[in-house]
Amino acid sequence: MGSLLQVRGLRTEFGSDAGSAVAVDEVSFDLDRGETICLVGESGSGKSVTALSIMGLLPRNGRVTDGEIRFDDVSLLDLSEPEMRENRGNSLAMIFQEPMTSLNPVLTIGDQLTEGMLLHLGLSRQDAAKRAVELLELVGVPRAEQIVRDYPHRLSGGMRQRVMIAMALSCSPALLVADEPTTALDVTIQAQILALMKRLAAASQTATILITHDLGVVAEMADKVAVMYAGQVVEEADVFELFDHPRHPYTVGLMKSIPHLGADDDARLESIPGSVPALANMPSGCRFQDRCPSVMDRCRAERPDLLETSTTGKHLVRCFLYSGEQAAVRDETTTAVAS
Amino acid sequence: MTTYIIRRILISIPVLLGVTVLNFFIVQLAPGSPADLYLDPNASPDYKERVEAALGLDQPIIVQYLNWLGQLLRGDLGLSYVSRAPVADVIGARIGPTLLLMGASLVVAYAIAVPVGILAARRKGTWADYTVVGGAFFGVSVPNFFLGLGLIYIFSLQLGWLPTGNMVTIGGGGGGLWDGLSHLILPVIVLSTAIAGNMVRYVRSSMVDALSEDYIRTAHAKGLAPGVVTRKHALRNALIPLVTVLTVDLAGLLGGAVVTEQIFQWPGLGMLTIQAISSRDYSVLMGVNLIAALAVFGANLLADIVYAVVDPRIEYS
Amino acid sequence: MSATELTTRKARERAGVPDGQPLLSVQDLTLHYPIRGGIVSRQTGTVRAVDGVSFDVFPGETLGIVGESGCGKSTTGRAIIRLENPTSGAVVFEGRDLAGLNTRELRRVRLDLQMVFQDPYSSLNPQKRIGDLLAEPLLAHRRASRKVAGERVTEMLDRVGLSAQFKGRYPHELSGGQRQRVGIARALMLDPTLLVLDEPVSALDVSIQAQVLNLLRDLQTELGLTYVFISHGLGAVRYISDRIVVMYLGKVMEVATTADLFAGPRHPYTETLLDAYPAPNPHQRGRERIVVEGDVPNAAKPPSGCVFHTRCPFAREKCRTEEPRLTGGAQGGSHAFACHFPLGEAA
């Protein structure tokens, strides 16, 4: 049996009047039960589109055109929409960035919280209502008995995000996709929510895809990390390996450009020049070539693949700087297989 | 909530007063006096003066207004200059038919506009959507009188299926249910066409907005079927802003009723208004205007109350 | 002479502020919004958005204001440039209390006092080309002819790292980072002495944030500017500020130099804030951290005594009853804090 989730060569396109644009290309990663992977990148990197592709929640003009998504040994892309709906909110759950607008303002918290359980678990109204209160208590919402009868506007952003988490966990999903769950929250509230998510994931062995642009959140939460740039994964490694030995020039640049609290006082921030290329005119070759400090001729001519660079652990990089090491790894594995 | 309603009513008193002042003076601006129509054109000027004095028309305009207002405060709308019957009775006899016409038109308009608007929103950007939007545009832009006369020409004069006007067949002994209905069909079509056209556009855009909200994505992420998402999550939110449209529609209906009732000889307030204007029956006109102002104000207040009921975020204090 | 000293001297000379005097002095600034209700709209309550805030900003320095949403940092910024009228208190700029100025004088002073917003897109007229948008303030105040204005625009675009080609483009054709550069350029067109920057990098991607922060640092040295930098992002505030004001529920909790504040916060709220910030270092993840419980209270019903006592892990009886004063020399630039039982002192 393989991993809980296997994403292979995912490609998602968006159609428009001007033709179709590839938002996500050649994205691959695996995720085991209880494991947390962080998809990190800037806007336009394709991290949210990757999540929506897995959930089958792409907007009407979006379509997965290539690749495979296997979840619990089922190919999600081969499921019909009604079959997909049975998984959604059930074994596959998602929480979103904007807690303030992600809850329906005219329905009570209890109503929204029980909806999924009534649909997927076949609970009676009474049992679902009882479980709703338990869930709210589990995620640390005070006065849960009262809150279930209240409407969302009475709750703060932090409390609403707790409700969203309770809702996502209501049917005990095997996979939780969290798209920037703390970005809209204040830093002290973010700390509360991250601690909560960590506690719940550990207790329930739920696998988590956490999407964020904040390397601080990554360092706090991830088991492994996939760094995304312009629709592709450019580097993937274990969280300690990634922070200790970042390899892709984009990852390195990103780490040097965060003004974090432990830095030297007068050290100047290094920044990555330029900006992310538009989907419509992606350069041929490496997509980071125009902003890369170590760009070579080859980068403009050929597209690099995401390849293993380490013989000891897992560290994939999409960069020609490491083609030597990557070749060595390849040789070693072929030798190992041959012998 | 009660405090809010009381405050709204208190605020409305000076507004209503202002409306009556404006109405009174604008009506007086029209040339001629009610006495002209009331009298034989050959009556002596002396006799005319005595009649005017008896009607109170010889007094300064301000005094006339204050007299009218004084009566009103005692709950008396005065007597019709033409029939000498109490204005309240004249209006009372006409209010029923108008309410019937307006009520039926609203029900028909909404019964068509809401589902059609939702359909267009869910199929945004398809031919179904374009057809609906085009139809709605036609409904809004075709004039009442044109549509009314056109329908009479086709269904009454050419096909002979439906009567040309009135509420019941005259001399038909009061008629049965079908007789009443057959008289109602054409005026209701005319009045509801404009309302429905307007409403479809509002329902559509309101629904398009609601369907693009984050909480709709949340609902889809729960695995709910699209129909449930539309009905339970989007529709209720989409209908909230339409409460305002309803009140605007009501004012529009009152205006539309004047023309439509005239075309179909519908014995309601609209026709009464035209009659009162042409016969310079100022006291009836003032009465009708007051009723209209009260209706618009009442509808607005009702809309605010309905808001608070359907939208939990709104709390009046 | 160091770069910072040079900046200070340049800024002091430009603003005509005597040695040792602040360029901007905010004194006991208070901004309350009434809540109305009842039949005749009586005032039934007050939102204390800013409640007795005082600090000085010296020529050539960057004063950072940090705090979570609802702490009053943005309202303070808006009150400084008089986008909001304070309920009470004084804003003294270049030696004059802005409250005492008439409309014409205020307009003149405002030329020296400019603001940069979080989302420059909403503050740039989408119908106008960048060149016209930038020339606008010069022409409106009759500071330059059309030709001279055009030259100034080119020069300013160059200063913020954009080529002259951008003159002909519309705001929607620009990326977020480019738009923020235009926002900064526009604020600089009239040679202000002080810039109030309200969350200028919060809407930008990480790699672009660094570009803009570096640009702001460079412009400060080149032009002798003074900044009030408002942000919830502690990293950015730390990088750019010389001194930092920490706000919570409309009040100043702590004022200190950046180095002092990060080396040893004295107010428990500051410590909480610093500790909640996730460090981009997975090796630190196991550490014991202070996670404060609960939400920020409603500013219409602030807690009695110290406003932080409801969430403070060290709160005692006195904190509930008595409001601590900001002590330790708030106006002098040394470390000041509003706490009865500050950290690092034997109780």
C50 found inside a domain: yes
Q: Are C109 and C94 in contact (CB under 8 A)?
A: yes
CA distance C235 to C274: 10
C345 found inside a domain: no
pLDDT at C122 over 90: no
CA distance C183 to C166: 13
B45 found inside a domain: yes
pLDDT at C181 over 50: yes
> pTM score, two decimals?
0.84
Give contacts of C280 with chain A, Cβ < 8 Å: 215-216, 218-219, 243, 255, 258, 260
Nearest CB to A191 within list C276, C283, C296: C276
Neighbours of chain A (3+ CB pairs under 8 A): B, C
**Contact A181/B at CB under 8 A:** no
Q: Are A257 and C282 in contact (CB < 8 Å)?
A: no
Element of type H or E holding A337: helix A323-338
C162 found inside a domain: no
Question: Which residues 151-170 of A have a C-beta within 8 angstroms of C?
Answer: 156, 158-159
**Contact A276/C at CB under 8 A:** yes
Per DSSP, helices labelled H in A56-92 are 81-87
Q: pLDDT tens digits, residue range A275-298?
A: 888 877 888 899 999 999 999 999
Q: Are C276 and A214 in contact (CB < 8 Å)?
A: no
Q: Are C39 and B10 in contact (CB < 8 Å)?
A: yes
B207 found inside a domain: yes
**Contact A189/C at CB under 8 A:** yes
Q: Are A88 and B232 in contact (CB < 8 Å)?
A: no
Q: Answer yes or no: do B26 and B113 share one domain.
A: no
**Contact C346/B at CB under 8 A:** no
Give contacts of C39 with chain B, Cβ < 8 Å: 3, 6-7, 10
pLDDT of residue B172: 59
Give contacts of A265 with chain C, Cβ < 8 Å: 258-259
Q: Are C39 and B6 in contact (CB < 8 Å)?
A: yes
Count of beta carbons in the 10 Å neighbourhood of residue C84 = 17
In this structure, which amino acid lies at residue C341? F
Q: Answer yes or no: do B11 and B125 share one domain.
A: no
Q: Answer yes or no: do B183 and B35 share one domain.
A: no
Which of C206, C209, C220, C267 should be substituted to probe chain A, the one whose Cβ sees the most A Cβ atoms within 10 Å?
C206
Q: Which residues pair with B79 in a beta bridge?
A: B86
CB pairs under 8 A between B and C: 12
Q: Answer yes or no: do B264 and B167 share one domain.
A: yes
Mean pLDDT, rounded, for C72-84: 90
Work out the pLDDT band at C347, boundaries 50, 70, 90: very low
Q: pLDDT tens digits, residue range C26-74?
A: 999 999 988 876 656 677 788 888 999 999 999 999 999 999 888 999 9
**Contact B10/C at CB under 8 A:** yes
Q: Answer yes or no: do B109 and B141 share one domain.
A: yes
* Minimal-distance CA residue of chain B relative to A86: B223
Distance from CA of B314 to the nearest CA of C (A): 14
Locate B182 and state its tokens. Answer: 């057959």
In this structure, which amino acid lies at residue C6? L
Give contacts of B208 with chain A, Cβ < 8 Å: none
**Contact B13/C at CB under 8 A:** no
B83 found inside a domain: no
CA distance A34 to A36: 7
Work out the pLDDT band at C332, boundaries 50, 70, 90: very low
Element of type H or E holding A138: helix A125-138
Name the domain boundary from B73, B108, B130.
B73
C181 found inside a domain: no
**Domain ranges, residue B295:** 91-310
Q: Answer yes or no: do B145 and B247 share one domain.
A: yes
CA distance C128 to C130: 6
Of B273 and C230, more confident: C230
Which of B209, B222, B307 should be substituted to probe chain A, the one whose Cβ sees the most A Cβ atoms within 10 Å?
B222
B79 found inside a domain: no
CA B83 to chain centre: 26
Count: domains in chain B: 2
C211 found inside a domain: no
Q: Is A195 helix (H, G, I), strand (E, B) or coil?
A: helix
pLDDT of residue A339: 55
C67 found inside a domain: yes
The DSSP call for residue C329 is -
Distance from CA of A202 to the nearest CA of B (A): 23
Which of C220, C281, C292, C298 should be substituted to probe chain A, the one whose Cβ sees the most A Cβ atoms within 10 Å?
C281
Q: Are A80 and A137 in contact (CB under 8 A)?
A: no
Q: Are B3 and C38 in contact (CB < 8 Å)?
A: yes
Q: Are A192 and C293 in contact (CB < 8 Å)?
A: yes
Can you give chain B as a three-state secondary structure string? CHHHHHHHHHHHHHHHHHHHHHHHHHHHHCCCCHHHHHCCCCCCHHHHHHHHHHHCCCCCHHHHHHHHHHHHHCCCCCECCCCCCEHHHHHHHHHHHHHHHHHHHHHHHHHHHHHHHHHHHHCCCCHHHHHHHHHHHHHHHCCHHHHHHHHHHHHHHHCCCCCCCCCCCCCCCCCCHHHHHHHHHHHHHHHHHHHHHHHHHHHHHHHHHHHCCHHHHHHHHCCCCHHHHHHHHHHHHHHCCHHHHHHHHHHHHHHHHHHHHHHCCCCCHHHHHHHHHHCCCHHHHHHHHHHHHHHHHHHHHHHHHHHHHHCCCCCCC
Q: Answer yes or no: do B132 and B59 share one domain.
A: no
Q: Are B3 and C39 in contact (CB < 8 Å)?
A: yes
DSSP E strands, chain A: 5-16, 19-31, 36-40, 62-71, 74-75, 92-95, 175-179, 207-212, 224-229, 232-238, 307-308, 315-317
Q: Are A158 and A184 in contact (CB under 8 A)?
A: no
**Spans in chain A with pLDDT lower than 70:** 1, 261-266, 336-339
Q: Are B6 and C38 in contact (CB < 8 Å)?
A: no
Count of beta carbons in the 10 Å neighbourhood of residue A317 = 28
Distance from CA of B12 to the nearest CA of A (A): 30
Locate B303 and state its tokens. Answer: 């809309």
Query: pLDDT 10s digit of each residue in chain B, 317 long?
Result: 777 788 888 888 888 888 888 888 887 777 666 666 666 667 777 777 777 777 777 777 788 888 888 888 887 777 777 777 787 887 888 888 888 888 888 889 889 888 999 989 988 888 888 888 898 888 888 887 788 788 777 777 777 777 776 666 666 555 676 667 777 778 888 888 888 888 888 889 999 999 889 999 999 999 999 989 998 999 888 888 888 888 777 777 777 788 888 877 778 788 888 888 887 778 888 888 888 888 888 888 888 888 878 888 777 65
Q: Are B317 and C40 in contact (CB < 8 Å)?
A: no
Q: Which of these, B155, B148, B248, B251, lies nearest to B191 by C-alpha position? A: B148
CA distance B193 to B252: 12
Locate A145 and state its tokens. Answer: 């008995």
Count: domains in chain C: 1
C324 found inside a domain: yes
Q: Are B218 and A96 in contact (CB < 8 Å)?
A: yes
pLDDT at C5 over 80: no
Q: Answer yes or no: do B214 and B260 share one domain.
A: yes
Cα separations in angstroms, C205 against A45, A83, A257? 11, 37, 10
Count of beta carbons in the 10 Å neighbourhood of residue A85 = 20
CA distance A248 to A254: 10
pLDDT of residue C267: 93
**Domain ranges, residue C241:** 3-112+194-202+227-280+287-337
**Contact A262/C at CB under 8 A:** yes
B52 found inside a domain: yes
Neighbours of chain B (3+ CB pairs under 8 A): A, C
C119 found inside a domain: no
B78 found inside a domain: no
Q: Are B212 and B279 in contact (CB under 8 A)?
A: no
Q: Answer yes or no: do B151 and B222 share one domain.
A: yes
Q: Which of these, A155, A156, A200, lies nearest to A178 by C-alpha position? A: A200
Here the ipTM equals 0.88
Which of A92, A104, A153 should be substituted to probe chain B, the one whose Cβ sees the most B Cβ atoms within 10 Å?
A104
B315 found inside a domain: no
Locate A208 and state its tokens. Answer: 């988590």
CATH number of the domain at C9, please.
Answer: 3.40.50.300
Q: Is A192 helix (H, G, I), strand (E, B) or coil?
A: helix
Locate C256 and state its tokens. Answer: 């200190």
Q: Answer yes or no: do B291 and B149 share one domain.
A: yes
B85 found inside a domain: no
Q: Answer yes or no: do B187 and B229 share one domain.
A: yes
pLDDT of residue C63: 96
Q: Is A105 helix (H, G, I), strand (E, B) or coil?
A: coil
Q: Answer yes or no: do B53 and B96 share one domain.
A: no
Chain B contact residues (CB < 8 Å to A): 213-215, 217-225, 232-233, 236-237, 240, 310-313
